[in-house]
Structure 1
């Protein structure tokens, strides 16, 4: 209802100001108007270049039908900005309305012309590719946002259907559309007061019967996981509801409310709403073609997936970087172009000097699985070595682990060469995949089922992908296998994400990044809204 009122008002406002501009139709092209446009745009290179190239002709402030439609379309879009989780106040809609009503002289119209273009470009950038600059929020957010050229955007808008152009700006992904729906749903939940009282307990087990079980029952009913029931006992119905909740929150679905499950159950609807708003911002950061086939690694979900034509065709559990400043997995996109079967592990210098050098100082024969390589590429005999004089700054050797089943990279690695030295790989440490929270690596992504992952990738180019892989593996020699069709890889971090069917999914903020993003969005003027009724 609120949005409808705003749309009606903006349409009325556009009609209201039309006589003002029509009163002097030639004024918009006067010398005073052009000088005002030039002066107002002098500090903005893109806007200045646009008006210089179009001969300082108006696209907003003339009496033409095209300009009127642009004004109305912009006002309509700004009135609906909150639906996208955008900083509504920053677009100064009320101020614009005042300027439109008060503009009389050519110079005032020229200044208003530039103001409208500037606000349009701010809105276009925000809704298309995000409000924030990721790297300014967290140094692990190294994603390159696909920003559109501002002058080209303004030029294209001036030649297009205004309403159609503005409607085409937000991401067109199914995920973004579903997140918008969930945002509206959670706004209604927040407007109704959330899910009721929190459960006052640290844990609960099946069979218990107390006030905390009643609170758990009521909260599960409010969340939609449990049908209404008079039970006051932690019975089979509650066990099933808890299991369903655990699945949707990435928890071990044992039906027992332990501390982690309790923490998630007691998380407020407003907090969940903020996660959804953050996820929408993140979706704008990646508003580009993801690839007909692509690899999607959600760090918070501890899974890697192969996606073909929008459908997940393979998925496996993953282990990601530990929550340590030097080990957190960064977020970025790149292109996988080869895999290495029977890989050699070239130990990163940071690991060699910080983890292995102290061991070598104590015992030169420590970490015997590694070869010590000098600057000439020769293996050095440990019997002749004294490591006591070396530290992180002067250690002159490389450490390498030859191919083997015990190799830290396992038996295959998947390469998308990047400056961060991140890749996907096998691992001999299989037990970690049974953990609920799987943040243990030095930054690279370990896969639970790397062979099946390889078979799926090779199926595009080999008649017998499994046979090809296994015969290559049997050589025990390091072998590079190029992918004839390189595959885009997206390392993402979503604490809220949707499924085509089923409930919205929430995950833990393993690195604290989404908390930082929400605070930055809030500082930029994004606020949570609640809908009543």
Structure 2
């Protein structure tokens, strides 16, 4: 028997039959996949040698291979028959059949991972830091598997969804149970309906919100309360009166809002799966930022985000350092579109009145330019590019601190002297960066120290460790006990719904 059956240890060496068979199979695979297996000397991911039987080498799939095949088949139905056939053939123990099943699993894995976590184009994030981005190609996914502590652990991790996605999925079910079950009665347009009103439109409104609608029943306190609840959930000013905007939202019907929830599930799918560490999460559609630790929201604050003309992008990056008492480098388009016209109207003295300085270039040691020597008409036309920065101080647009997440988009988080902006409902007013309602709180949380009253100009302070910041655009978001819709201020929903086939 010793001649007929060798142990796995004796068979599982460099140049083993399984590795040889796998080397033959990957020759026709995509180049990146072949390179991955070649780099590990064709050591398999989903199979192992199983000794010899009757002088023939044997192999088998590891249990995680069948688990992966089942999950892929459920998620990607078009792969089901091919995987089933390959897994069935591999039960023979033939090293060629096992190698073919191994390769098919590896080729299918990247599609499976993409189906779980990659969204359609309008919902995707800009990944500013490669360390945060999920792998997007087959080789990257396979390298991720190889680095994992175990195959089972890897499969459990990639199957996870982030808590926002999971909560939204639950809220979709609760929305259907609460709002979709109500009569979708259409309410004719007309004057605002408020307490004391009567008539057919009031009866239709009562029916639409699930209240008794006997002819002649008035707009009473119960209806006002139901209208307030609808307004709260659907992102409308909460007045308890059925104005034109409220009637329009009611007439869109629950199916419209279900589609919006599914669209925002697609946006949430693009977010990283883990919220377990320390991170900042901003929802631009809500104009709010949350401080998150261990998966729990520790505090929230209002923010001012980019205007519809200068939108804040959906993105994920790492804050690596703060700058106390910062300069503000005025974006080139603002110099062209705002500063130059002001100077042309008010004269070169306007530059000094705004505590601005003009610099010759973007080097470390530029020289200052005299505003009187600049051709401001050429700047306004865009024919001349001019570097302008605002000196540190009380009126500086950056306030007392800015938090830097290196990126080519010029987006970061910062303080602001314009405190009144946070009292406004419409807070989409910036040039793309995020202004913080409480920069002092963020400073304490990120750096473990107070924001200094005085600091030297442009004083850089590195964070003890890089902290992720996820900037999303969710027009439907979960709350503790339900869901709330936000205005599509950037008009991004139609393109996303179209990409999803109308959801």
Shared fold, TM over 0.5: yes
CA distance in 2, matches of 1:385, 1:55: 66
In the alignment, is residue 355 of structure 1 matched against residue 338 of structure 2?
yes
The equivalent residue for 1:73 is 67
Deviation at 1:439, TM superposition (A): 1.8
Deviation, 1:297, is 1.2
Greater Cα offset, 118-127 or 399-408: 399-408
What is the 5 A alignment of 1:424-503?
A: 424-447=413-436, 449-450=437-438, 453-458=439-444, 465=450, 469=452, 471-472=453-454, 478=457, 480=459, 482=461, 484-486=463-465, 487-499=467-479, 501-503=480-482
Query: Any gaps of 5 or more consecutive residues in structure 1?
Result: 1-28, 82-87, 222-226, 529-533
Is residue 318–residue 405 contact of structure 2 (8 Å, CA) maintained in 1? yes
Between the aligned partners of 2:402 and 2:146, the Cα distance in structure 1 is 46
Residue 184 of structure 2 corresponds to 196
Counterpart of 1:331? 314
- Aligned counterpart for 2:225 among listed residues 233, 236, 240: 240
Provide the TM-score with structure 2 as the length reference: 0.74
> 1:345 — aligned with what?
328
Aligned residues: 463
Change beyond 3 A, Cα 1:277–1:67: farther
Separation of aligned partners in 2, 1:411 and 1:202: 50
SS class of match (1:251): coil
CA–CA separation in structure 2 for the residues paired with 1:489 and 1:197: 43
1:280 aligns with 2:265: yes
Say if 1:313 and 1:270 are closer, same or farther in 2 by CA, change over 3 A: same
The equivalences for 1:121-140 within 5 A come to: 121-127=110-116, 129-132=117-120, 136-137=121-122
Structure-1-length-normalised TM-score = 0.70
**Partner of 2:158: helix, strand, or coil?**
coil
Change in CA separation of 1:183 and 1:244 when aligned onto 2, cut-off 3 Å: closer
> 2:281 maps to which residue?
296
Distance 1:260 1:457, change over 3 A: farther
**Alignment match, 1:512:** 491
Residue matched to 2:151 = 160
Q: CA deviation at 1:320?
A: 1.2
Question: For each residue in 1:358-393, what CA deviation from the matched residue of structure 2 results, as whole angstroms up to 9, or x when unmatched?
Answer: 3323442446425342425335254x6653454555
Q: 1:356: Cα distance to partner?
A: 1.8
Q: Deviations over 1:46-90 (max 9, x none)?
A: 267438844679749x9x997495565345424653xxxxxx45x
Aligned to 1:378, which of 368, 372, 396? 368
Task: Give the 3 Å change call, closer, same or farther, for CA 50–159 of structure 1 in structure 2.
Answer: farther
Higher-strand-fraction structure: 2
Alignment-derived partner of residue 293 in structure 2: 308
Superposed CA RMSD: 4.4
Tell whether the 8 Å contact from 1:47 to 1:118 is kept in structure 2 after alignment. Answer: no
Deviation sequence 1:16-74 (CA, Å, 0-9, x none) = xxxxxxxxxxxxx799976873355x2353267438844679749x9x99749556534
Corresponding residue number in structure 1 for 2:194? 206
- The within-5 A match list for 1:43-54 is 43=30, 45-46=32-33, 49-50=36-37, 53-54=41-42
Aligned equivalent of 2:80: 93
| Equivalent-residue separation in structure 1 for 2:72 and 2:265 (angstroms) | 17
Deviations 1:303-360 (A, max 9, x none): 1222233333332222211112xx1111222333444455433211111022222332
- Residues 275 and 150 (structure 1 numbering): CA distance in 2 closer, same or farther, change over 3 Å? same
Post-superposition Cα deviations, 1:263-289, rounded to whole Å, max 9, x if no partner, equal: 443444444333333433433433254
Q: Is the 8 A contact 1:332 1:492 kept in 2?
A: yes
In structure 2, relative to structure 1, the CA distance for the partners of 1:305 and 1:202 (3 Å cut) is farther
- Distance in 2 separating the partners of 1:31 and 1:457: 54
Task: Measure the CA separation in 2 of the matches of 1:292 and 1:229.
Answer: 51
Contact 1:319 1:441 in 2 (8 A): yes
Q: 1:55 to 1:228 in 2, by over 3 A?
A: same
Kept in 2, the 8 Å contact 1:140–1:328? The answer is: no
Equivalent pair of 1:331/1:492 in contact (CA under 8 Å):
yes
